[in-house]
Structure 1
Amino acid sequence: MSVSVEIPSTSHRRDSEPFIDSRTRRNSLQIAAMEEGPNSPSKSPSRRKRYSFSSISCFGVELTPDNIAVAMVYFVQGVLGLARLAVSFYLKDDLHLDPAETAVISGFSSLPWLVKPLYGFISDSFPLFGYRRRSYLVLSGLLGALSWSLMATMVNSKYSAAFCILLGSLSVAFSDVVVDSMVVERARGESQSMSGSLQSLCWGSSAFGSIVSSYFSGSLVDDYGVRFVFGMTALLPLITSAVAVLVKEQPIIVSAWSENLSLGSPGFLESSKDNLIQIWGTLKQPDVFLPTLFIFLWQATPHSDPAMFYFTTNKLHFSPEFLGRVKLVTSVASLIGVGIYNGFLKTVPLRKTFLATTIFGTALGLTQVFLVTGLNRQFGISDQWFAIGDSLILTVLGQASFMPVLVLAARLCPEGMEATLFATLMSISNGGSVLGGLIGAGLTQTFGVTKDRFDNLVLLIVVCNLTSLLPLPLLGLLPKDNTNALAKDTTDVETKSGGKFNP
């Protein structure tokens, strides 16, 4: 994206989970109308009925209460974008940080997304008030509300800001893991086309949330200041707590559970050891390890988003209100990207999708050079219109190219501890994103790009975009044809790893 930076920042190739993942965001998954795959022997007529009573559907997925809850959590992740511009301007104008410092804070705030398997393990193994899903959604929403309340009232240094952003990131990451576990349970065994439809519903909800908050993210900063925006944002995570009541989950009898899995008990330790062994046994299988390695390397290429944000605000003097309009355009573009993937790309083999989107994304990313050098004005295109058009195209392409990553990761998960294993795969992806951000921060510092010096910004943009091509020789690590192969590969992995997980 040409004109803004998110905290943590995201490149056009990555997951845009709020307050990460970048790309990371951020990371992530699919909603299905059924809890298990079509070949599951345990599927009963009553269970089938449980997930098919609704006649209302979106992207081909029935809007059951569970699915609505998951979609609403994704919606909250999108609508939390209300504070992104406020955070960026707060770090730049109130704390007077340079682009490299901003990128480092972004990487620090992304740390909760690197230990997502821990949240999955906690959610699967430690029911809170008798529930594995509901209670943790409530807790995540309250934690998010606390973090933004602190940003609105008490934060006054880069360290306290980093800590509060970290708490907000932890809130989103934990709720993301909880809904991931629900999603993967339903996506298991589905075809690539259905998985794509489920993914489209999730990311469509997130994109809709971004659209709702986009324009006001800039105008509210202009009119009322960053503290007011932080205060409004503090109300949004409470939606996550509220929709927890929609999750259909049988309560666990705590006394019976504690007898078997109390901390320090032989049963708990043995169960934990078995789960770790099975997760490692799954990850080291070539069918899982090689695609995961490619995703990590694909995410680990650097980007120049923080430097571009400083350039467009300090050099081109783009206002918060205008950047809010740009964010609105990119939010709509993200939804368009979801639609393009759902309509045309969800049945295309992964290798072809990655090859095409990476090459086009690199070429289009280089158009940022026009904005930095002013070449666009020689063609009669103002900086504002060029920034909007450039961001629109890059966002559409970036969203369409990242969705196959999520589809692949979810469908690699065997049955059982879905939250833990899926979180492991996405944490590896997020780790690549954080590494890419830190490399970008290092390049920004090396090239001498600061909040008021942009002499080498063109070189930074060129280097960051060309490095996006480096993972392409490794496309052979991905499955040749992912229409039905992944479901079979997942079954093979379950067999080789000694059975299925038992939470």
Structure 2
Amino acid sequence: MRDRGGGGSKAAVLLVLLVFLSCSGTAFVVKGRSCLSLERRCTSARSSSDRPARHLSHNTLLKVIRTRGGSGQAKGRRLRGGSTRRKAHEDGEGGWLTRVKQAANGPFAINDIEITPDVFSILVVYFVQGALGLARLATTFFLKDELGLAPAELAALTGIFTLPWVLKPLYGFLSDGVPIFGYRRRSYMLLSGLTGAGAWAYLSLYAHTPAEATAACVLANLGVAVSDVVADSLVVEKARDSQSQAVSSGLQSLCWGSSAVGGIISAYFSGALLERMGTRDVFLITAALPLLVSFAALLVDEKPRPQVEASVQDQVSGQVVSLWRAITQKSVWLPALFIFLWQATPTSDSAFFYFLTNDIKVGPEFLGRVRLGSSIASLLGVWIFQTYLKEVRISTIMFWTSIVSVPLGFTQLLLIYHVNRQLGIPDEVFTFGDDVILTVLGQIAFMPTLVLAARLCPPGVEGTLFALLMSIFNGGGIVGSELGAALTKSIGVTETDFTNLGKLVLLCNLSSLLPLPFLKWIEEDEDRVARETKQQKGKRWWLAKKEPAKDAPPP
């Protein structure tokens, strides 16, 4: 089905190409302007006043050209008539000469965020996270074709691969309280990149059994999860030091844009590379990407700490106590339990992937295009949420996305039973459109969970509790994968027999409605927040009414 030859020289050439593209993509994120802001992602173009100092606006550039151009006679008249005035304007605040000097010598900034070495290293981490999707299709085809795993086995291993993401709070505690070689951030980021690179290289060169492939994939995810925790810690430190909502929002926007660029680039190349070379060659190319994280770790500005500080250990111990107090509150653990149940319903993704590749013969290159469309659709889902749904109650969004997702999920039955062919719709067109629509809806459903998780975090343990809630979210996804694997095996769907695939899809879609009775836990939390907000507004109004006016004359 695919050409797996040409490993040596072809792999070397493409390795250099991908490293160059990765560096170029990172430079593009740093040197360009992020098209995604935290408040309104992809909603409007940024004004020229918000552009970086190094990129002069069109009008400013015309002023520079006109000032420097023109005939010598006219230029002499201008200089004789108002040289002092023009020089003051040029050198004054806002003058073009000042702007040029700032662009040449001043710090480089995007969205009012100064691109320091720390910020650059954060952007590299997020870019690599998105770019590692390059090996996603290759991993699935490797497990399916070369190791010969059945759909149920693939679904079970997929859940195991993501286990490192459940332990994110542990990585946060370690990086905060246990320095390695005297560094709390730089060393963990460096080791995470080396771990990821080694894992992908091992998967490319030495993995020949499911156990070896599982160990390599778990280590690869461990490297990404640790670097993610360190990058988030740096983001929190930058936001805390700035004490500015604009800086915090702008930094989050840059991080999102960097990850999006990496994801779109990897989605474009993942299928095309797999169509022209073997899966192991793709793994070898992917092994170069985590090394960018290791190189970026050297840019982190951090003072060495020769030994573990007792104050840091005490701080970590205090965070554990505060975290336990937080999660034992009913207003926290009930919504957290709902998030877990929301994710723990079984899925049929692995079995449906086998159907696409074995029954209707969809190739890797087309699946890469589907991934590209899904990446763009995900951004569209974020835009829809930020533009139209951010003020809507979380419980309302979750309820209706669950209701709407069921009939949309049933559209897969049209492809399974080839009804689309009777309607004159090609398999690939139907697959692409179905995946894009479901991705948009899935992103709209996912965004409220982030808002809910952030709202549940009390002061003092915001970062740790948020990481814990995301771990619960990921843990629910693992349970859903394992339940889907068990259901796939019990129904009898295999790599060649898709007779009961329709029944599997039907059951998995209907099971997504099971958590809805527990949605009242979210509604109760929303009612509590609404009452507290109303009380605070009433209290502020009463205090403002009692406070005498500043300009009122003394009695």
TM-score relative to the length of structure 1: 0.77
SS in 2 for 1:129: coil
Does the CA-based 8 Å contact 1:204-1:335 persist in structure 2? no
SS in 1 for 2:493: coil
Q: Which residue in 1 is equivalent to 2:270?
A: 217
Residue 407 of structure 1 deviates from its aligned partner by 3.1
2:146, 2:174 → 1: CA distance?
Answer: 38
Q: Which residue in 2 is equivalent to 1:243?
A: 296
Taking a change above 3 Å as real, the CA distance of residues 298 and 64 of structure 1, as seen in their structure-2 partners, is farther
Alignment gaps of 5+ in structure 1: 1-29, 34-52, 262-267, 493-503
1:241, 1:483 → 2: CA distance?
Answer: 46
Q: Does residue 1:444 correspond to 2:488, yes or no?
A: yes
Q: Does residue 1:307 correspond to 2:359, yes or no?
A: no
Letter of the 2:218 counterpart: L
Q: Which residue in 2 is equivalent to 1:56?
A: 110
Question: Cα deviations across residues 234-286 of structure 1 (Å, max 9, x unaligned)?
Answer: 011122223335545x425324x44656xxxxxx5x66554322211011122
SS in 1 for 2:512: helix
Question: Cα deviations across residues 448-469 of structure 1 (Å, max 9, x unaligned)?
Answer: 0010011110010011011111
If asked which structure has higher relative contact order (CA below 8 Å, sep 6+), I would say: 1
1:173, 1:483 → 2: CA distance?
Answer: 35
- Mean CA deviation greater in 227-236 or 322-331: 322-331
Does the CA-based 8 Å contact 1:180-1:422 persist in structure 2? no
Q: Which residue in 1 is equivalent to 2:232?
A: 180
Q: Which residue in 2 is equivalent to 1:500?
A: none
Does the CA-based 8 Å contact 2:189-2:230 persist in structure 1? yes
Write the mapping of 1:351-500 to structure 2, written as runs, cut at 5 A: 351-416=395-460, 418-478=462-522, 485=529
Write the mapping of 1:114-125 to structure 2, written as runs, cut at 5 A: 114-125=166-177
Taking a change above 3 Å as real, the CA distance of residues 176 and 410 of structure 1, as seen in their structure-2 partners, is farther
Q: Which residue in 2 is equivalent to 1:40?
A: none
1:464, 1:381 → 2: CA distance?
Answer: 25
Residue 87 of structure 1 deviates from its aligned partner by 0.7
Residue 197 of structure 1 deviates from its aligned partner by 8.0
Q: Which residue in 1 is equivalent to 2:284?
A: 231
Question: Cα deviations across residues 76-97 of structure 1 (Å, max 9, x unaligned)?
Answer: 1111111011111111110111
Taking a change above 3 Å as real, the CA distance of residues 191 and 362 of structure 1, as seen in their structure-2 partners, is farther
Residue 138 of structure 1 deviates from its aligned partner by 1.7
Equivalent residue in structure 1 for 2:130, among 78, 85, 94:
78
Does the CA-based 8 Å contact 1:178-1:419 persist in structure 2? no
Does the CA-based 8 Å contact 1:196-1:346 persist in structure 2? no
Letter of the 1:314 counterpart: N
From the CA coordinates, give the structure whose radius of gyration is larger: 2
Taking a change above 3 Å as real, the CA distance of residues 392 and 365 of structure 1, as seen in their structure-2 partners, is same
Question: Cα deviations across residues 274-308 of structure 1 (Å, max 9, x unaligned)?
Answer: 43222110111223212211111101111100001
Residue 430 of structure 1 deviates from its aligned partner by 0.9
Q: Which residue in 2 is equivalent to 1:253?
A: 305
Q: Which residue in 2 is equivalent to 1:13?
A: none
Does the CA-based 8 Å contact 2:37-2:249 persist in structure 1? no
Write the mapping of 1:2-401 to structure 2, written as runs, cut at 5 A: 56-57=110-111, 62=113, 64-65=115-116, 66-184=118-236, 202-245=255-298, 247-248=300-301, 250-255=302-307, 257-258=308-309, 268=313, 273-401=317-445
1:271, 1:408 → 2: CA distance?
Answer: 26
Residue 348 of structure 1 deviates from its aligned partner by 2.6
Taking a change above 3 Å as real, the CA distance of residues 467 and 185 of structure 1, as seen in their structure-2 partners, is farther
Identity of aligned residues (%): 50
2:245, 2:516 → 1: CA distance?
Answer: 23
2:247, 2:192 → 1: CA distance?
Answer: 29
Residue 482 of structure 1 deviates from its aligned partner by 6.7
1:155, 1:167 → 2: CA distance?
Answer: 13
Taking a change above 3 Å as real, the CA distance of residues 338 and 277 of structure 1, as seen in their structure-2 partners, is same
More helix by share: 2
2:393, 2:249 → 1: CA distance?
Answer: 12
Does the CA-based 8 Å contact 1:294-1:475 persist in structure 2? yes
Taking a change above 3 Å as real, the CA distance of residues 168 and 281 of structure 1, as seen in their structure-2 partners, is same
Residue 166 of structure 1 deviates from its aligned partner by 0.6
Residue 422 of structure 1 deviates from its aligned partner by 2.5
Residue 64 of structure 1 deviates from its aligned partner by 4.6
SS in 2 for 1:115: helix
Question: Cα deviations across residues 83-139 of structure 1 (Å, max 9, x unaligned)?
Answer: 011111111110111011111111221211122221111011112233322321221
- Mean CA deviation greater in 371-380 or 339-348: 339-348
Letter of the 1:408 counterpart: L
Taking a change above 3 Å as real, the CA distance of residues 344 and 164 of structure 1, as seen in their structure-2 partners, is same
Does the CA-based 8 Å contact 1:80-1:213 persist in structure 2? yes
RMSD, matched Cα: 3.3
1:55, 1:209 → 2: CA distance?
Answer: 21
Q: Which residue in 2 is equivalent to 1:18?
A: none
1:482, 1:62 → 2: CA distance?
Answer: 34
Taking a change above 3 Å as real, the CA distance of residues 342 and 453 of structure 1, as seen in their structure-2 partners, is same
Does the CA-based 8 Å contact 1:184-1:411 persist in structure 2? no
- Mean CA deviation greater in 72-81 or 126-135: 126-135
Does the CA-based 8 Å contact 2:133-2:266 persist in structure 1? yes
Letter of the 1:220 counterpart: L
Does the CA-based 8 Å contact 1:199-1:407 persist in structure 2? no
SS in 2 for 1:469: coil
Residue 201 of structure 1 deviates from its aligned partner by 5.3
Residue 168 of structure 1 deviates from its aligned partner by 0.3
Residue 477 of structure 1 deviates from its aligned partner by 1.8
1:408, 1:74 → 2: CA distance?
Answer: 23
Letter of the 2:340 counterpart: F
